[in-house]
Structure 1
Amino acid sequence: MKHTIVQTNGFTRTLCATAVTLACLGSTSALAQESDNVDASKGKLEKIEVTARKTVESLQEVPVAITSIGAVELESKGISVLTEVQQFSPNTTLQTSRGTNSTLTAFIRGLGQQDPLWGYEPGVGIYVDDVYIARPQGAVLDLLDVQRIEVLRGPQGTLYGKNTIGGAVKYVTKDMTGDPTFNIEGTVGNYARADVKVTGQYPLVDDKVYLGFGYANLNRDGYGEYLESALEGQDKENYNKDLWAARLTLEAHITDDLFFRLGWDKTEDTSNAKGGYRLLPSILTDAPVPKSKYDSYTSLPTWNKVELEGYSWLLRYDVSDDFELKYVGSHRESYSPTNIDFDNTPLDIFDVPAEYDDTNDTHEIQANLVGDNYTFVSGVYLYDGESCGNFDAVLGFLGRAAFGTPGLTREVSGCNNSESWAVYGQLNYDITNELSVSVGARYTDEEKQATVFNGLIFDNVYPYSGWIPGYVRPDGQLTPQVLGSDGDGDGTLDAPAVQSWSRFTPRLGLEYTVSDDTMVFASYSQGFKSGTFNPRATINEPGVNPEVVDSYELGVKSDVTESFRANVTLFAYDHKDRQYIGIEGGSDDPTALEQRLRNAAETAAKGLEVELTYVATDNLTLTAAYGFIDFEIKKNDAVPPLIGLASTPENTLNMAATYHLDTDMGLFTFNANYYYRDDYLLFETSDLIQQDAYGMVNLSVNWESVEGNWYGGIHAKNLTDEEYLVGGYDFVTRNEDGSYGPGLGGDTTLIGYYGDPMTVLLTVGYRF
């Protein structure tokens, strides 16, 4: 009989809480609490504005599956980081990746990208004020002065371009009003949490030029600790937080028709590297399974760093009442040296110190028209990105045991750079008062250049001198070239490997207005994820073709009454040319990571998404969000073979309630929600690590003074202290009798990373 390491920590333990919660709760996915058009506190639904189609529209008029969460809702629930948004959007996974606190793993409808190595492209696009965040490092954004978060489900290839085959997540910051404002907020909580946020704006020239600012300093002790470290003097906190972020925004209303905005932001995260939990005891050293899921062991330094900095600019000119020109540009840089101990023992069995270094520039020019019975959005987009890095797969114990050498390292370094341009347009045309059609298309041309240096060193090697105390890196090139061209045959890289791809991605939609409050829509859309080169190449292999998704949707958006809203979407898609790494060497090969990148699979899925909002009384709002996905494998040439979807449960459910109580002391708002995720695999090609179904209960109580200047909130999250996996490593072999044997490095490396435990926090703020 075969055995599987399965985490079963959740569902039965929450049955009692669930029985109470289900009677009154729903998800908050459609209630943004932002609009002045309709007052939900008076027992009516709100009008919610979104920019899913790059123009401002009502949520109920946009024929796209979208969840919008507004600033008031984010604040009242104590949502402070992007990953918490996954609870409120059906079929959505936004989780912190393994090894760090700032790297994002994102899937929508089962489409995304798990491996964060340079060269691999994401499948879910992350945008901050329409600026694309190209790399997952640092994409776990802390929410600072945010207006709303929009989650667009399904391919967004026409308006948003490549790497949105699953969808897009848009982070929209608050507009400035021109009035001098200042807001200071402090948060304390368990695990010694201590956060300070300061935001505000000031008019430099009345009604013309405004300066906005924001600063956050976020700190928390670790949920666990490193029980043992091979290096002396290391900080032993695990899953801690030590981060600061700042931004400045300059807005100039030059004339009534001409607007300019310049923004700068910087984030520095020096939280410790995140150690994993050993699901099996080590067979090589003293590293048993820890008692706490947040405890670990390591032979690497525990320090880690993520530095992000960016500039963005927007120039908007209203040529006429019906014609708008817009230019959006950005320059972003990120640098992250990181320590990932794959085996999580005090012995150098499988350690991976690494560096990521990225720079990208984007330019987009839009021309938007609004007529009596049509809107037309069009643009030209340019992207120039350099994504580089290096990692050292240190197998020191194996080197000493098998070869009698000081150590053993497979060192890989290189760059995977991209230059692309695109032109797009989308016409939304009203054929009659009831029937509309939308036709869109985008043409993208992309060229990638890649270099890979990959080789074996019979010593323990680290990215630079001083990485561990006393380490001096040898001079010279330690690893040979494997990807690129050597024209003169002298063994050095003369030119990178170069390949180009182009893609036409169409969209066709029909919308029919049944009544003033109900719209049905059907659409076909296509998206693609970039072609790329293998960043771990061991031979001079060619690049792989883009992944392509053809998606079909049928939906209805209906304000059934003034107090009940129902948005339902049926979807189906075909996913072709999926990019997979195939293992060429045997698992007992000491130089392993002999991998080839191929277009090796084709899959399909169909599913359902339901979002309901019911304003039960002037004070009570109930909402619910449900997602279902049915997955099918149509072609399976991956090695090892594809067996399912990664980090994507078949069912997701969120139910919540919001209750407002107006008193002489101020306004109190009570929030409660129950979030359920079905069981899921951690990896698409392995069932060694699975997460069983679990449910999570969150409660919040918020207060705002009568004058509106003081406010506060108490937030209790994951009240039943569910333990749920968000990442892992599975370098083991499984024997016929179900037992586990050693994998790469010679140990039983089966590792899990977990989401946050129960946390309680108190926030107090003052506005003036």
Structure 2
Amino acid sequence: MQLKRAHLIAGAATALIMASPVFAQPARAAQAYTQQALPLNAALKQFAGKAGLQIMFSDSEVRGKYAPALNGRYTADEALDRLLTGSGLVHKTVRGKVVVIQRAATISAAVNARETVRQAPRLAAASEPDFAEAGPAAGAVGIEEIVVTAQKREQNLQDVPIAISAISPAFLEKREITSISSLTSLAPNLKVESAAGNRTTSIISIRGGAQGNAQIYFEPSVGLYLDGVYIAKAQGTVFDVADIERIEVLRGPQGTLYGRNAVAGAVSIVTKKPSGELGGKAELSYGNYDYRRARGTLDLPAFGIFSVKLSGQMTKRDGFYDVSGNAYTDEAQAWDSKSGMIQVRAQPSSALTLDYTFDISVAEQQTGPVHAVSGTGSLAPYVLPRKRQKHLSFDGRNHEYSKNWGHALIAALDLGEVGVLKSITAVRKQHYRDALDLDGTPIAFAASSREIHYKQFSQELQLTGKTGRLNYVLGGYYFDDKGHVDNPQSYFSGLSRTEGGYGFTTKAYAAYAQLDYQLTDALTLTGGLRYTNEKKTVERHLTRITGAGSTVVIDLPAGATPPAKFEKVSPTVTLAYEVSPTVNVYARYAQGFRSGGFNATANTTADTQYIFKPQVQNTYEIGFKSRLLDNKLQLNVAAFQNDIDDLQLSVFVPGLSASSVLVNAGKARVRGVEVEAVARPTDRLLLQAGVGYLHSKYLEYIDNGVNVANNRTFTHAPKWTVSATADWAALKADWGKLNLIADLGIVSDYYSAAAPLKPTSATQTPAEATRAPSRAMLDARLVLSELAVGNAHATISLWGKNLLNEKDPNFLTDYGASFQRLIAAYFPDPRTYGVTAAIKF
């Protein structure tokens, strides 16, 4: 409904009167701004955050209007002039940093309308959420709106017709989240676990899609991106980034825009870029287990065309476990990590922006120890309960070292009406080594070590733009990688030893296009295609060593095995309908795939050279997104069905060495529902909740020629995931603000391996033995913020994690009958707590 002029006048005056008096007059010096073409409301909100302004406007005035891209140096007035080009709207600074957007005929009257402010309807506020909470009018602002780049262009989160969760800067900052390890349950049907004892390696499951074998050769099911750069392997993905702007979790296949190995979804980490203004933050934390962390960022003033930002952190912690009878250590799961990032932005012209990033992360630890929760023969005396123990005894080193580093250069060129051309060039490297006690007992039963060197290179070109009713994304992508692993193993007190290793390469090419066309003002049709061509090679050597000497079991040097080649076309189609300005519905079809390849860790030549096929997933999804009660409630619902062909499963194969191979087991169907809600019932209380439900079923599972679909468990697919968070501003005063925060995540039980529900032979292990029980993880924080310290502001936080002290295993590995029925269990971290002090300037 069109707002009356008097109401518009009063709304603008409300903003004027309620504005905080601490704001100074906005600087008129030109600054560097880069943002893509967006709907006008989203563009104004994003610009407000970058420029430090509060921009007030009426939703009805900006609805249906689009703003051009910003890419260059502008004063605030110049940038606003450009954003409002062709809209019929103008801007006026009415007080301090408060800007009113209105039609030219009404804005001058709005400045003088102070007498009728209490009768005013709400104007949308394009400002940071913390500002919105600073005054009595905060309740009128509603829920923070988040801009995401899930479809390679900037859009309001609620306007994107896919199932996506975005974790905002405020959420990340208050909870000190710096890596993906803290993401479990923050989005429906999302589960993130460490891979057994390797704490720098992740197993990310979205909607039941996961790669259970985290060996560096195998491909993940969820694509991980850092500032648009694909991180290809699960190993080494748990690294710290000191200054994250937001994290986007895209659920369902993202094959068109994100390509291979985003069959279950994608996780995108977006860092804060240099601002060109002096500022920064320093933070110190201390907690139990002698936990110490120092984190900092420094944003330097612009010099010439350059802006620079430095960030990093160092973390140390004693072990969670006391270890006896070990020649190498007296503790387990101690942690020592360092990470850093250098970001340089150059703007040679108003049309060209160059962003260079170097990041590095080094982590070293006594790994998470094994609990032998099952074992026969010599293992039997050392079997432990299925609860996390404090005191352990094992004989191996249990050490892990991971170094990951990379360079990225992103160039964005504004071509005017043609669009924005972006180039993303990146190289990443990894050096990893470990030495693991696989059985967790004082006897030398099973030990393994690895030395890994890995390198990847990627180049992507994107063209994004808009013409009339058509938005388009066109792109080309190239990727190659190379890795080598040395992996000696020893079993049965050294009676069975192997010296083994493998190497691999990948080359992949892709071209893609996605078009969004507005059939009407309310109805948008999206169509996309991606063509991928890839080639993989493998080399493998395996030697058995006994008292009688050594025997070569596999000798496949580079070039001995013909390469595996794959081609795939991945389509997507979406129909989105705007029921009203606050309610959207959509229907979507998307296809994704996980790459095929060789079983590089196999124990025979035939198994090594066997080529498993790509896993293909077709997903059908309907969704509903809404902003209700004057944007005090956001409710999103999605329902989906995944039809999976050539399902890849990791199967443990006992033999000369402990190894797993990937097989195309058959077909599966996963159905589910996801509900997300955000509510701000008062200006002091923010509530968020998410519920995910999965029903996973094999339609075909071929084992030795027999279909056992009704007698196998689906891995890493909990039926229920539930999250709930509450952030209550318990106290607001001139001297500061006190927030009480509680986060609860619940995951129902799930299986770590595709095991028989009812064993049909004496050598099989029942699925119940590898079932991880349901768990509830409760975290809480007390945050005292906005404490004035000269020209800076300080924050003090008291925090606790896993306050319920969950002790059940979250990952189990079954080594089978030939390894004395050994089942190795791994556990989440125990209860931790501490204090953090930070200062921001």
Could you state the TM-score of these two structures normalised by the residue count of structure 1? 0.85
Residue 665 of structure 2 aligns with an amino acid whose one-letter code is A
Moved more, 523-532 or 345-354: 345-354
**CA shift at 1:582, angstroms?**
5.4
Residue 447 of structure 1 aligns with an amino acid whose one-letter code is K
Residue pair 2:184, 2:745 contacting (<8 A) in 1 also: no
1:450-529, aligned counterparts within 5 Å? 450-458=538-546, 479-483=552-556, 495-529=560-594
Distance across 2 between alignment mates of 1:603 and 1:105: 20
Residue 507 of structure 2 aligns with an amino acid whose one-letter code is E
1:354 corresponds to 2:354: no
Residue pair 2:572, 2:590 contacting (<8 A) in 1 also: yes
CA shift digits 1:221-252 (9 cap, x unpaired):
111133332xx2x1232122100111111110
Residue pair 1:581, 1:638 contacting (<8 A) in 2 also: no
**CA shift at 1:294, angstroms?**
5.3
Residue pair 1:411, 1:454 contacting (<8 A) in 2 also: yes
SS of 1:155's partner is: coil
Distance across 1 between alignment mates of 2:808 and 2:799: 20
Counterpart in 1 of 2:159?
A: 61
Counterpart in 2 of 1:762?
A: 835
Counterpart in 2 of 1:10?
A: none
Task: Return the index of the structure with the highest Cα Rg.
Answer: 2
Say which of 222, 227, 248 aligns to 2:319: 222
**CA shift at 1:512, angstroms?**
0.4
Distance across 1 between alignment mates of 2:569 and 2:807: 44
SS of 1:695's partner is: strand
Counterpart in 2 of 1:9?
A: none
Shift of the 272–430 alpha-carbon distance from structure 1 to 2, 3 Å rule, reads same
Distance across 2 between alignment mates of 1:363 and 1:170: 17
1:618-633, aligned counterparts within 5 Å? 618-633=683-698
Distance across 2 between alignment mates of 1:266 and 1:76: 24
Residue pair 1:452, 1:535 contacting (<8 A) in 2 also: yes
**CA shift at 1:580, angstroms?**
3.4
CA shift digits 1:567-596 (9 cap, x unpaired):
000010111112235567xx6x6x365876
**CA shift at 1:287, angstroms?**
3.0
CA shift digits 1:290-334 (9 cap, x unpaired):
784355433322332101111111011001155111100111110
**CA shift at 1:102, angstroms?**
0.6
Say which of 124, 131, 134 aligns to 2:229: 131
**CA shift at 1:520, angstroms?**
0.2
SS of 1:668's partner is: strand
**CA shift at 1:355, angstroms?**
2.0
Counterpart in 2 of 1:213?
A: 310
Structure 1 unaligned residues grouped into runs of 5+: 1-31, 400-406, 461-473, 485-492, 734-742
Distance across 1 between alignment mates of 2:177 and 2:322: 25
**CA shift at 1:530, angstroms?**
0.5
Query: How many residues align structurally?
Result: 687
Say which of 564, 578, 599 aligns to 2:633: 564
**CA shift at 1:480, angstroms?**
4.5
Distance across 2 between alignment mates of 1:223 and 1:127: 31
Residue 766 of structure 1 aligns with an amino acid whose one-letter code is I
Counterpart in 2 of 1:674?
A: 744
Residue pair 2:397, 2:436 contacting (<8 A) in 1 also: no
SS of 1:228's partner is: coil
Distance across 2 between alignment mates of 1:275 and 1:325: 49
Shift of the 611–594 alpha-carbon distance from structure 1 to 2, 3 Å rule, reads closer
1:381 corresponds to 2:477: yes
SS of 1:348's partner is: coil
Counterpart in 1 of 2:394?
A: 298
Say which of 167, 174, 182 aligns to 2:272: 174
1:271-310, aligned counterparts within 5 Å? 271-280=365-374, 283-284=377-378, 287-289=382-384, 292-293=388-389, 295-310=391-406
CA shift digits 1:620-651 (9 cap, x unpaired):
12221000001111001146966222222101
Residue pair 1:368, 1:377 contacting (<8 A) in 2 also: yes
Residue 509 of structure 1 aligns with an amino acid whose one-letter code is T
Could you state the TM-score of these two structures normalised by the residue count of structure 2? 0.78
Distance across 2 between alignment mates of 1:364 and 1:270: 33
Residue 289 of structure 1 aligns with an amino acid whose one-letter code is L
CA shift digits 1:715-765 (9 cap, x unpaired):
1111111123232221244xxxxxxxxx32xx3421111111111121111
Say which of 639, 653, 671 aligns to 2:722: 653
Residue 556 of structure 1 aligns with an amino acid whose one-letter code is F
Residue pair 1:158, 1:507 contacting (<8 A) in 2 also: yes
Residue pair 1:434, 1:513 contacting (<8 A) in 2 also: yes
SS of 2:237's partner is: coil
Distance across 1 between alignment mates of 2:547 and 2:409: 48
Distance across 1 between alignment mates of 2:578 and 2:279: 42
**CA shift at 1:79, angstroms?**
3.0
Distance across 2 between alignment mates of 1:277 and 1:46: 45
Distance across 2 between alignment mates of 1:110 and 1:539: 32
**CA shift at 1:256, angstroms?**
0.9
Counterpart in 2 of 1:490?
A: none
1:319 corresponds to 2:400: no
Distance across 2 between alignment mates of 1:339 and 1:198: 32
Residue pair 1:522, 1:554 contacting (<8 A) in 2 also: yes
The higher-RCO structure (CA 8 Å, 6+ apart) is 1
**CA shift at 1:598, angstroms?**
3.0
**CA shift at 1:347, angstroms?**
2.1
1:252 corresponds to 2:346: yes
Residue pair 1:239, 1:294 contacting (<8 A) in 2 also: no
Distance across 1 between alignment mates of 2:392 and 2:224: 31
Shift of the 150–596 alpha-carbon distance from structure 1 to 2, 3 Å rule, reads closer
Counterpart in 2 of 1:463?
A: none
Distance across 2 between alignment mates of 1:637 and 1:726: 28
Moved more, 174-183 or 189-198: 174-183
Shift of the 561–204 alpha-carbon distance from structure 1 to 2, 3 Å rule, reads closer
Residue pair 2:202, 2:237 contacting (<8 A) in 1 also: yes
Residue 621 of structure 2 aligns with an amino acid whose one-letter code is E
SS of 1:497's partner is: coil
Residue pair 2:200, 2:238 contacting (<8 A) in 1 also: yes
**CA shift at 1:143, angstroms?**
3.7
Residue 320 of structure 2 aligns with an amino acid whose one-letter code is Y
Counterpart in 2 of 1:712?
A: 796
CA shift digits 1:315-370 (9 cap, x unpaired):
11001155111100111110111112221123221111112221000000111111
Say which of 193, 201, 216 aligns to 2:291: 193
**CA shift at 1:201, angstroms?**
1.7
Counterpart in 2 of 1:663?
A: 733
SS of 1:205's partner is: coil
Distance across 2 between alignment mates of 1:621 and 1:217: 31
Distance across 2 between alignment mates of 1:482 and 1:572: 44
Residue 555 of structure 1 aligns with an amino acid whose one-letter code is G
Distance across 2 between alignment mates of 1:596 and 1:76: 42
Residue pair 2:745, 2:776 contacting (<8 A) in 1 also: yes
Residue 347 of structure 1 aligns with an amino acid whose one-letter code is I
Structure 2 unaligned residues grouped into runs of 5+: 1-45, 51-124, 756-766
SS of 1:158's partner is: helix
**CA shift at 1:542, angstroms?**
2.9
Shift of the 605–258 alpha-carbon distance from structure 1 to 2, 3 Å rule, reads same
**CA shift at 1:153, angstroms?**
0.5
Say which of 397, 400, 411 aligns to 2:499: 411
Residue pair 2:224, 2:230 contacting (<8 A) in 1 also: yes
Residue pair 1:374, 1:428 contacting (<8 A) in 2 also: yes
Shift of the 438–652 alpha-carbon distance from structure 1 to 2, 3 Å rule, reads same
Residue 665 of structure 1 aligns with an amino acid whose one-letter code is W
1:243 corresponds to 2:337: yes
Counterpart in 1 of 2:598?
A: 533
Say which of 419, 433, 457 aligns to 2:521: 433
SS of 2:256's partner is: coil
**CA shift at 1:396, angstroms?**
4.0
Residue pair 1:119, 1:532 contacting (<8 A) in 2 also: no
Moved more, 410-419 or 684-693: 684-693
Counterpart in 2 of 1:700?
A: 781
Residue pair 1:276, 1:728 contacting (<8 A) in 2 also: no
Distance across 2 between alignment mates of 1:598 and 1:310: 32
RMSD over aligned Cα atoms = 2.3
SS of 1:576's partner is: strand
CA shift digits 1:181-225 (9 cap, x unpaired):
23211010111100001211213515x201111121101111113
Residue pair 1:621, 1:657 contacting (<8 A) in 2 also: yes
Distance across 2 between alignment mates of 1:656 and 1:618: 16
